[in-house]
Amino acid sequence: MNVDPSRRLLQAAALVVLFGVALRCAWIGDDAYITLRTVENAVTGGGLRWNPDDRVWTNTHPLWMLLLTAARWLTGESYFTTIWLSLCLSLAAAMLLLRRAATSAAVVACGLALVGARAFTDYCTSGLETPLTFLLLALFVDALLPSVKPGNPWQMAIGPAVDGATASSPSFGRAAVCAALLAGNRMDLALLCAPALLAAMPGRPLGPALRTLAVAGAPFFAWLLFATVYYGSPLPVTAHAKAFGVGIPASDMARQGLHYVRFTLTEDPALLPVVAAGLGAALLAPRARGLAIGGLLYCAYVVKVGGDFMVGRFFLPPFVVALAVLAACWSRWPRRFATLSAVVIVGLVALRGLPQWLLPPRCDTAPAPEQRLAQGGVGDERRVYYPALGLFAPDRQSPRFGELHGAVRPEGGGRWVLLNGAVGVAGFRAGRDGTLLDPLLCDPLLTRLPAKDPRNWRIGHIIRRVPEGYYESLVTGENRLRHPGLRAYWDALRLVTRAPVFDGQRWRALWQLWRGELDAGFRDFVATEYRMPPTVDVAAADLAAELPLGTYWFDEPKVKLVYDGGVLVRWSPATPAQTLRLQAMGFCDFRVRFLRDGVVVGEAKGVPQPQPPQLPPLRALVGLRQELVAVPAGVGAFDAVRIDTVENPMSPTATGPAGLALVRRE
């Protein structure tokens, strides 16, 4: 095959363009800061943990986490380090893909696919493991699909054909190493790699092939062993949060996965056609068929698990594989195929109008909440977080590790606990002095519970209900969970995550959990109190003393927390009143039902009163506030009130639980 002299110049130009596009789009997402908090804790001596008190593995990408840890240790900084490391890895992967294109037309088509796939340019950064996945997959394909001599065009489609040279035979060892690293970067990528490795084994002696796989996989299995010992599980807690026992029918998850496909086709119209074309071409090439099967299995897996909330991101691994195959196809087929493909890619990109990277950074504005709600849980995460975390965002606010402590404790002080359902940046800013209770992804107990509402959930963000007594257990260190079965389960889980790693009691508790000895009590809680939250009786005398406004619930034992079943406050005897005065906290509305002899005689809502102006902002927001409840006309004398909460749009991502410190008839 004749060498195209303009190919190298076009490859360099394509890399420069891609670098400019990726730099313009560079950002870090909130989810990335979950990993970055663990990284910061590790570098500063707190261990590979997210919350300071718990050994919990809260990310899905140990290899990426370790690479970030090394980079952060070298530079002493997180934000720019993460972005530049991601850019370097993404460009290295793009260089390998472009190198497989052996003609100028093939280079143009490949370059257009890279900059035209919106998800690819968006996730060249973001702080997630995707750039490392790009590079390892490009190396994996290069190891399995070297070039072959001219002949059958489908055979020729599988090799890089760099400068017309014939490369060496496929390297099973290099492919096995890349596959093991990919599994360490994200475990589900093993599904994509396994068929290709199996397809490469026939004709090789079985013993040496198995030894190669064992040696290549040693680092991955070493991590699993470490995670089992250190965390008590070879799987991250996010596996429980998203895959195990979520309580959502498989058909609903698959339906959400199909919605993810449709939404990706709409928002990123070039991505899936490239995947389909590349995997289709690979199916017709015997040596590439294993890659095609792996890519198709991975796409089916994405649909089965409901896809993702980040549009297009889960289809990027098969996209890289497909583009690697297409780059070789465009090089070997007649030039018109590459030219036509380039025109089609441009046309598909144009369906969405002008690419976002051609607009100034100030145009990257977050979508309105109602727009995100209408998208069925899938969205453009870069647009959501770019205004605050984009590299060139006019109002960029790079978080600083531990800066939230000064906002929570301007007067100084020790540990604190907040609830938050968007825990990335919040957790990073909390540093090592703050504990966050995450009802979505990171808590070792809550992630094992099923969805709070199986009919109302967002993929990747399945909210759990906080059990009665759990907040108090976290603050005091005592097990105050109400349900005996759950209390026994948490006793064991707390030992696993908090006791010294090699403590004998910890390993006995771990053995109990592995054997399922405590599962019956856990399941009983889920079947009873979790699904039917109990109303907790609180003595009126315990809610009779006023506390300073702005008081945090975790500092004051007299604050009674209000869980989903509400609280019942009784007086004796029954007397009339015009107003009910509350000292309350929480991102919710308080509903009060007035009772006489156990019968509801009226209902009203609390009206929050202005906070004193001298309170620090976070105390005014999260601490105790005063609410007045007007007793409805006709209620007359009442001897009890049932107070429960009514969620509002802010409640799932609130910064604290609902609570009461005063309930007084006036």
pLDDT tens digit sequence for 175-184? 999 999 999 9
Please check whether residue 375 lies inside any domain of the structure.
no
Terminal-residue alpha carbon distance, the chain: 93
Spatial separation of the C-alpha atoms in residues 131 and 112, rounded to whole Å: 18
pLDDT at 374 over 90: no
Q: Report pLDDT for 409.
A: 82
Please check whether residue 373 lies inside any domain of the structure.
no
Spatial separation of the C-alpha atoms in residues 43 and 368, rounded to whole Å: 37
Q: Report pLDDT for 349.
A: 95
Confidence of residue 460 (pLDDT cuts 50, 70, 90): confident
| Three-state secondary-structure class, residue 326 | helix
Edge-first strand order for the sheet with 579-585 is 560-562, 658-665, 579-585, 625-630, 607-608
What residues contact 130, with CB distance under 8 A and at least 6 apart? 86, 123, 124, 313, 316
pLDDT at 164 over 70: no
Confidence of residue 648 (pLDDT cuts 50, 70, 90): low
Spatial separation of the C-alpha atoms in residues 469 and 365, rounded to whole Å: 40
Q: Report pLDDT for 162.
A: 35
Longest distance between any two alpha carbons in the chain, whole Å: 100
What residues contact 44, with CB distance under 8 A and at least 6 apart? 401, 432
Q: Report pLDDT for 149.
A: 39
The total of other beta-carbon atoms located within 10 Å of residue 104's CB is 18
Q: Report pLDDT for 170.
A: 76
Cis status of the peptide bond prior to 355, with omega within 30 of 0: no
Final residue belonging to a domain, choices 497, 530, 563: 530
One domain, residues 92 and 210:
yes
Please check whether residue 575 lies inside any domain of the structure.
yes
For residues 444 and 534, the answer to whether their CB atoms sit within 8 Å is no
Q: Tokens at residue 251, please?
A: 């058909």
pTM (predicted TM-score): 0.92
φ and ψ at residue 601, rounded to 5 degrees = -115, 0
Spatial separation of the C-alpha atoms in residues 176 and 181, rounded to whole Å: 9
Q: Report pLDDT for 167.
A: 40
Distance from chain centroid for Cα 146: 36
Strand partners, 419: 437
137 sits in the region (left: phi over 0; alpha: psi -120 to 50; else beta) called alpha
Mean pLDDT for the stretch of residues 622-630 = 94
Please check whether residue 611 lies inside any domain of the structure.
yes
Q: Report pLDDT for 245.
A: 83
Spatial separation of the C-alpha atoms in residues 129 and 49, rounded to whole Å: 18
One domain, residues 593 and 500:
no
Whole-number percent of the chain with pLDDT over 90: 74
Q: Give the domain CATH number at 628.
A: 2.60.120
One domain, residues 446 and 357:
no
One domain, residues 472 and 547:
no
One domain, residues 497 and 548:
no
What residues contact 494, with CB distance under 8 A and at least 6 apart? 479
Final residue belonging to a domain, choices 477, 499, 530: 530
One domain, residues 512 and 575:
no
Q: Tokens at residue 300, please?
A: 């089916």
pLDDT at 607 over 50: yes
pLDDT at 518 over 50: yes
For residues 521 and 485, the answer to whether their CB atoms sit within 8 Å is yes
Q: For residue 295, give the amino acid letter.
A: G
Confidence of residue 137 (pLDDT cuts 50, 70, 90): very high
The least confident of 140-149, 432-441, 527-536 is 140-149
pLDDT at 461 over 50: yes
Mean pLDDT for the stretch of residues 438-462 = 91
Final residue belonging to a domain, choices 530, 557, 572: 530
pLDDT at 81 over 70: yes
* Strands 434-437 and 567-575, bridge-based pairing: unpaired
Please name the residue that has the structure tokens 């099973």.
Answer: 172
One domain, residues 526 and 540:
no
What residues contact 154, with CB distance under 8 A and at least 6 apart? 281, 284, 285, 286
Tens digit of each residue's pLDDT (9 = 90 or more) over 525-534? 999 999 999 9
| Three-state secondary-structure class, residue 435 | strand
Spatial separation of the C-alpha atoms in residues 457 and 462, rounded to whole Å: 5
Please check whether residue 386 lies inside any domain of the structure.
no
Residue-number span of the structural domain to which 482 is assigned? 404-530
Q: Which residue has the higher pLDDT, 363 or 522?
A: 522
One domain, residues 498 and 553:
no
Spatial separation of the C-alpha atoms in residues 60 and 46, rounded to whole Å: 20
Confidence of residue 651 (pLDDT cuts 50, 70, 90): low
pLDDT at 166 over 80: no
One domain, residues 194 and 309:
yes
Please name the residue that has the structure tokens 């939250």.
Answer: 533
Q: Report pLDDT for 44.
A: 92
Mean pLDDT for the stretch of residues 91-105 = 95
For residues 425 and 433, the answer to whether their CB atoms sit within 8 Å is no
Q: Report pLDDT for 151.
A: 39
Q: Tokens at residue 38, please?
A: 């663990």
For residues 639 and 597, the answer to whether their CB atoms sit within 8 Å is yes
Q: Report pLDDT for 421.
A: 65
For residues 197 and 293, the answer to whether their CB atoms sit within 8 Å is no
The least confident of 60-64, 155-159, 505-509 is 155-159
One domain, residues 192 and 331:
yes
Spatial separation of the C-alpha atoms in residues 155 and 565, rounded to whole Å: 66
φ and ψ at residue 377, rounded to 5 degrees = 90, -10
Please check whether residue 380 lies inside any domain of the structure.
no
* Strands 567-575 and 560-562, bridge-based pairing: unpaired
Spatial separation of the C-alpha atoms in residues 449 and 377, rounded to whole Å: 21
For residues 595 and 556, the answer to whether their CB atoms sit within 8 Å is no
The total of other beta-carbon atoms located within 10 Å of residue 558's CB is 16
Whole-number percent of the chain with pLDDT over 70: 94
Domains held by the chain: number = 3
Please check whether residue 616 lies inside any domain of the structure.
yes
Please check whether residue 295 lies inside any domain of the structure.
yes
The total of other beta-carbon atoms located within 10 Å of residue 71's CB is 16
Q: Report pLDDT for 436.
A: 87
Tens digit of each residue's pLDDT (9 = 90 or more) over 123-134? 999 999 999 999
Q: What is the mean pLDDT of the chain?
A: 91
Mean pLDDT for the stretch of residues 453-471 = 90
Tens digit of each residue's pLDDT (9 = 90 or more) over 545-580? 899 999 999 999 999 999 999 999 999 899 999 999
Mean pLDDT for the stretch of residues 310-324 = 97
Q: Report pLDDT for 366.
A: 84
pLDDT at 1 over 70: no
Q: Report pLDDT for 276.
A: 98
Tens digit of each residue's pLDDT (9 = 90 or more) over 207-250? 999 999 999 999 999 999 999 999 999 999 999 988 888 899 99
Long-range contacts: 573-578, Cβ < 8 Å, 24+?
A: 573/637, 573/639, 574/637, 574/638, 574/639, 575/637, 575/638, 575/639, 575/665, 576/631, 576/635, 576/636, 576/637, 576/638, 577/631, 577/638, 577/665, 577/666, 578/630, 578/631, 578/666
pLDDT at 169 over 80: no
Q: For residue 330, give the amino acid letter.
A: W
Mean pLDDT for the stretch of residues 33-37 = 96
pLDDT at 384 over 60: yes
One domain, residues 140 and 171:
yes
pLDDT at 414 over 80: no
**Among the listed residues 29, 20, 128, the one whose alpha carbon sits nearest the alpha carbon of residue 390:** 29
Buried b or exposed e, range 39-68, using 16+ CB within 10 angstroms: bbbbbeebebbbbbebbbbbbbbbbbbbbb
One domain, residues 578 and 457:
no
